[in-house]
């Protein structure tokens, strides 16, 4: 018996019991479709998050108050590990980091204070993050303006009531984000003149500047965001001279802050995050998420495989006489083995192929729904997922087919022929 | 003499729980090439065991069995399968056709296991023509009458040009008229092709038509019967 013959016979046999074959295949279809869709969603989430992190800027460093070496996202447990004894970051910390002799790898520094505030224009109103920033903020964070200008030193020195809006905030307030320079919005009831609108950066909700509003540091400090000490800042953004010097810059910043805060090494009351740290953190999270989702989907694939084994065992029992006859006619052990293995592999392979199409469809629909609901998120069906689930389902067909097939192959011809 | 079958002191023992049951207790005989022979005996006489052994479906526990020059006793399962495929054609009481396959497909089956890739269809067609079913080749078993199904089975038995055809109650599921047709078909095949024909039956009318009858009783040759001495009628 050649393989082609075995294949044709398997097709004939499976075709002879369409309902049963169809239901068995369904188990594999659901399993493979689930694996494909889940991996696609996981990969999509990863791409979406890493994409939005990358858009922040490649040689960017973040300095936060509090020891946060646990690896979670910045600020997740700010102040929780060391209590409230951490010294806050201050403007003079920022100035020290900006010193080109103490920190030669740092190109620019932008301290910021942040708070939530309500913006109103006419009847529209939105609550978002208000950041008090310096003129250096735009270059450090890689921000570009679609119109108008960013906050400059003049605005800072004059404590001026001007605001730069993220495009989404502009959209919410004005219904559009062009031609809004010169309008006056109210932040917490105080009038601010719009002097610029940022270019949309996209990305997920995490780290997106599109919803923010920026006002001069001095203005925020004096009138909007209250802190215990006048000098206190929430976060210091620093730009390394090159992408390669990020680690060095991180060390320099840590040294400066340790000296200024008088903390020994290993007992920092601040945290320096680099872009790579962010990427690593989120890749770990989304990686775990993907494995988790894929694992759950894999269980359904396993259940499908057990379904195949079940059906093949029933089939072997039902066809005991046929097996006996085939052996009487000269079928060897491996002929029978091949026959039943081909049937089970065919079941899982067909299920795998249909499952890939279905999984793709599900991923596509999830992407459409996400886009329709305003999330920038595209599930990615990778070739790795396709290869993985195809080979996995074929392997399942083989694995769960081996036991029934070897049972069929080892039947004694005399016994099998006598079977009713 | 040109023996197609030589059986010497064949013993077959089955294990039934703690007991050993001797189904054959040292049976010896020869069958000449081209002979038509029937094996008779009451149920429990070792008739089926005899057929399984002669048909190479099973190995004897001891003794020597030589089929067409090949000693079967020491063969492994796959070698036995190959001997069955090349040297034995089976005709069963209940036809044993595969319902998914056409008549042609059923007849082709032994050729598939013989590893033949070319000329299968032609040989299967020729076999079906030889049993007078050239107009039913693409029919499936359930579209055929009992007699036609048994003809397909006969075609399947002879398609590999075997040394012996083992027929186990070939007319048992057929009415007497159709049964007679099948018997004539088998006897004519023996006449035309010289294929040795062994029929296992308990029907004396069938046994009458054969040249020699081997009678079994309690796992031994029944020597009280006059046919058992190698004499021909």
Residue A114 is classified by DSSP as E
CA distance B64 to chain A (A): 20
Model confidence pLDDT, tens digit, residues A83-116 = 456 778 888 888 888 888 888 888 888 898 888 8
User: Residue A27 pLDDT > 50, yes or no?
Assistant: yes
Nearest to A411 by CA among A329, A343, A317: A317
User: Residue A179 pLDDT > 60, yes or no?
Assistant: yes
Interface of A with B in 400-419 (CB under 8 A): 412-414, 417
Cβ distance A414 to B117 less than 8 Å, yes or no, reads no
User: Residue B170 pLDDT > 80, yes or no?
Assistant: yes
Give one word for A159, left, alpha or beta, with left for phi > 0 and alpha for psi -120 to 50: left
User: Residue B193 pLDDT > 70, yes or no?
Assistant: yes
A330 interfaces chain B, CB cutoff of 8 Å: yes
CA distance A345 to chain B (A): 20
Q: What is the pLDDT of residue B146?
A: 92
Nearest to A212 by CA among A138, A287, A311: A138
Give the CA-trace dihedral at B166, B206, B191, B123, to 10 degrees.
-40
Q: How far is CA A310 from CA A179, A305, A317, A389, in A?
A: 68, 9, 11, 21
Residue B199 structure tokens: 């029929």
d(CA A16, CA A6): 15
d(CA A408, CA A395): 20
Mean pLDDT across B66-76:
90
Percent of chain A with pLDDT over 90: 16
A342 interfaces chain B, CB cutoff of 8 Å: no
Of A16, A330, A333, nearest to B85 by CB-CB distance is A330
Residue B168 C-beta-side C-alpha neighbours within 13 Å: 20
Nearest to A137 by CA among A149, A148, A156, A151: A151
Of A1, A16, A414, nearest to B58 by CB-CB distance is A414
Name which residue leads in pLDDT, A385 or A21.
A21
Tell me if A126 sits within 8 A of A173, measured CB to CB.
yes
Nearest to A91 by CA among A274, A284, A287, A234: A234
* Chain A residues near residue B86 by CB distance under 8 angstroms: 330
Model confidence pLDDT, tens digit, residues B96-112 = 999 888 999 999 999 98
Of B84, B100, B114, nearest to A12 by CB-CB distance is B100
- Least trusted range by pLDDT, from A335-339, A405-409, B18-22, B123-127: B18-22
| Locus of tokens 């005989």 | B29
Q: What is the pLDDT of residue A55?
A: 67
φ, ψ (nearest 5 deg) of residue A90 = -125, 170
Mean pLDDT across A29-34:
90
Q: What is the pLDDT of residue A76?
A: 43
Q: For strand A213-216 and strand A162-165, is the pairing parallel, antiparallel, or unpaired?
A: antiparallel
**Mean of per-residue pLDDT scores for chain A:** 83
| Locus of tokens 């119109």 | A147
CA distance A417 to chain B (A): 9
User: Residue A359 pLDDT > 50, yes or no?
Assistant: yes
Give start and end residues of each alpha helix (H) in B76-225.
77-87, 103-113, 120-130, 146-158, 176-193, 204-208
Identity of the highest mean pLDDT range in A75-89, A259-273, B165-179: B165-179
Residue A314 parent element (H or E) = helix A275-318
User: Residue A71 pLDDT > 50, yes or no?
Assistant: no
Residue A283 forms beta bridges with which residues? none
**Mean of per-residue pLDDT scores for chain B:** 90
A232 interfaces chain B, CB cutoff of 8 Å: no
Determine the 3-state secondary structure of A228 from DSSP.
Answer: coil
Interface of A with B in 173-202 (CB under 8 A): none
CA distance B112 to chain A (A): 6
Instruction: Choose the mutation target among B113, B160, B168, B200 for the interface with A, i.e. most A CBs under 10 Å.
Output: B113
| Locus of tokens 């006059």 | B226
Model confidence pLDDT, tens digit, residues A388-406 = 888 888 888 888 999 999 9
CA distance B220 to chain A (A): 21
Query: How many pairs of residues across A and B have Cβ atoms under 8 Å apart?
Result: 59
A292-298: long-range contacts (C-beta < 8 A, 24 or more apart)?
A293/A38, A293/A39, A293/A41, A293/A42, A294/A35, A294/A38, A294/A39, A294/A42, A296/A34, A296/A38, A297/A31, A297/A34, A297/A35, A297/A37, A297/A38, A297/A39, A298/A31, A298/A35, A298/A392
User: Chain A: residue nearest B102 by CA?
Assistant: A12
Exposure of A288 by Cβ count < 10 A (0-12 exposed, 13-18 middle, 19+ buried)?
exposed
Tell me if A162 sits within 8 A of A215, measured CB to CB.
yes
A123 interfaces chain B, CB cutoff of 8 Å: no
Q: What is the pLDDT of residue A75?
A: 44
Write down the domain spans for chain A.
Answer: 3-53+281-418, 87-268
d(CA B210, CA B183): 10
Q: What is the pLDDT of residue A141?
A: 81
CB atoms within 10 A of CB B184: 11
Cβ distance B90 to A2 less than 8 Å, yes or no, reads no
| Locus of tokens 């680099």 | A274
- Least trusted range by pLDDT, from A48-52, A257-261, B110-114: A48-52
**Beta carbons within 8 Å of B39's beta carbon, 6+ residues apart:** B47, B50, B51, B198, B199, B200, B201, B213, B214, B215, B216
Nearest to A225 by CA among A331, A111, A137: A111
A329 interfaces chain B, CB cutoff of 8 Å: yes
Whether the predicted model's global pTM rises above the 0.80 cut:
no
User: Residue A73 pLDDT > 70, yes or no?
Assistant: no
Percent of chain B with pLDDT over 90: 71
Q: What is the pLDDT of residue A16?
A: 81
Mean pLDDT across A28-44:
88
User: Chain A: residue nearest B80 by CA?
Assistant: A330
Q: What is the pLDDT of residue A72?
A: 44
Mean pLDDT across B181-191:
93
Tell me if A145 sits within 8 A of A268, measured CB to CB.
no
Q: How far is CA A67 from CA A78, A257, A271, in A?
A: 7, 12, 5
Name which residue leads in pLDDT, A203 or B63.
B63
Q: How far is CA A209 from CA A49, A64, A256, in A?
A: 14, 18, 29
Q: What is the pLDDT of residue B162?
A: 94
- Least trusted range by pLDDT, from A22-31, A76-85, A170-179: A76-85
Q: Which CATH class is domain B35-57+76-221?
A: alpha beta
CA distance B63 to chain A (A): 19
A206 interfaces chain B, CB cutoff of 8 Å: no
Q: What is the pLDDT of residue A202?
A: 61
User: Chain B: residue nearest A336 by CA?
Assistant: B113
User: Residue A69 pLDDT > 60, yes or no?
Assistant: no
d(CA A81, CA B5): 93
Cβ distance B52 to A325 less than 8 Å, yes or no, reads no
Cα A151-A156-A158 angle, rounded to 5 deg: 120
Q: What is the pLDDT of residue A78?
A: 42
């Amino acid at each position: 018996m050649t393989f082609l013959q075995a294949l044709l016979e398997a097709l004939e046999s499976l075709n002879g019991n369409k309902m049963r074959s169809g239901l068995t295949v369904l188990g594999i279809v659901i399993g493979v479709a689930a694996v494909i869709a889940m991996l696609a969603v996981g990969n999509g989430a990863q791409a979406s998050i890493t994409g939005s992190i990358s858009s922040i800027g490649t040689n960017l460093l973040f300095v936060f108050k509090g020891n946060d070496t646990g690896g979670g996202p910045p600020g997740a447990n700010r102040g929780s590990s060391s209590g409230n004894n951490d010294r806050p970051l201050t403007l003079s910390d920022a100035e020290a980091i900006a010193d080109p002799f103490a920190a030669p790898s740092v190109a620019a520094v932008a301290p910021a204070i942040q708070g939530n505030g309500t913006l109103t224009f006419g009847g529209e109103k939105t609550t978002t993050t208000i950041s008090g920033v310096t003129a250096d903020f735009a270059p450090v964070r890689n921000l570009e303006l679609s119109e108008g200008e960013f906050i400059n030193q003049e605005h800072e020195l004059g404590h001026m009531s001007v605001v730069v809006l993220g495009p989404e905030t502009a959209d919410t307030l004005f219904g559009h984000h062009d031609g809004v320079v010169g309008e006056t919005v109210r932040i917490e009831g105080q009038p601010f003149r719009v002097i610029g609108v940022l270019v949309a950066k996209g990305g997920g909700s995490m780290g997106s500047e599109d919803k923010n509003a920026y006002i001069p540091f001095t203005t925020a400090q004096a009138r909007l965001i209250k802190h215990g000490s006048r000098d206190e800042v929430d976060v210091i953004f620093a730009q390394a001279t090159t992408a390669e010097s990020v680690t060095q810059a991180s060390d320099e910043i840590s040294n400066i802050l340790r000296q200024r805060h008088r903390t020994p090494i290993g007992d920092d009351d601040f945290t320096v995050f680099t872009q790579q740290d962010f990427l690593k953190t989120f890749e770990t999270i989304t990686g775990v998420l993907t494995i988790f989702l894929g694992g759950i989907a894999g269980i359904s694939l396993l259940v499908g495989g057990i379904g195949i084994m079940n059906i093949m065992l029933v089939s072997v029992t039902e066809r005991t006489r046929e097996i006996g006859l085939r052996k009487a006619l000269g079928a060897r052990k491996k002929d029978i083995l091949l026959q039943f293995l081909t049937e089970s592999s065919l079941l899982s392979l067909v299920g795998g192929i249909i499952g890939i199409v279905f999984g793709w469809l599900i991923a596509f629909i999830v992407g459409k729904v996400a886009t329709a609901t305003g999330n920038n998120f595209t599930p990615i069906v990778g070739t790795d997922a396709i290869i993985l689930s195809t080979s996995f389902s074929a392997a399942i067909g083989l694995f769960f087919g081996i036991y029934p097939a070897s049972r069929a192959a080892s039947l004694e011809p005399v016994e099998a022929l006598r079977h009713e | 003499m040109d023996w197609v079958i030589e059986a010497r002191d064949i013993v077959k023992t089955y294990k039934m729980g703690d007991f050993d049951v001797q189904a054959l207790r040292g049976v010896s005989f020869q069958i000449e090439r081209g002979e038509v022979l029937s094996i008779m005996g009451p149920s429990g006489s070792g008739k089926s065991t005899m057929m399984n052994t002669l048909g190479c479906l099973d190995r004897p526990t001891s003794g020597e069995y030589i089929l067409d020059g090949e000693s079967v006793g020491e063969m492994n399962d796959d070698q036995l399968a190959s001997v069955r495929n090349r040297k034995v054609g089976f005709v069963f009481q209940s036809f044993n056709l595969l319902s998914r396959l056409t008549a042609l497909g059923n007849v082709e089956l032994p050729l598939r296991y013989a590893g033949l890739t070319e000329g299968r269809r032609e040989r299967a067609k020729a076999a079906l023509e030889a049993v007078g079913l050239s107009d039913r080749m693409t029919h499936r078993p359930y579209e055929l009458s009992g007699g036609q199904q048994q003809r397909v089975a006969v075609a399947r038995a002879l398609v590999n040009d075997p040394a012996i055809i083992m027929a186990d109650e070939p007319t048992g599921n057929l009415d007497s008229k159709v049964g007679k047709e099948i018997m004539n078909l088998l006897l004519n095949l023996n006449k035309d092709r010289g294929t040795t024909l062994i029929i296992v039956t308990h029907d004396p009318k069938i046994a009458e038509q054969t040249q020699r009858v081997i009678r079994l009783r309690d796992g031994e040759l029944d020597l009280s019967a006059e046919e058992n001495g190698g004499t021909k009628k």
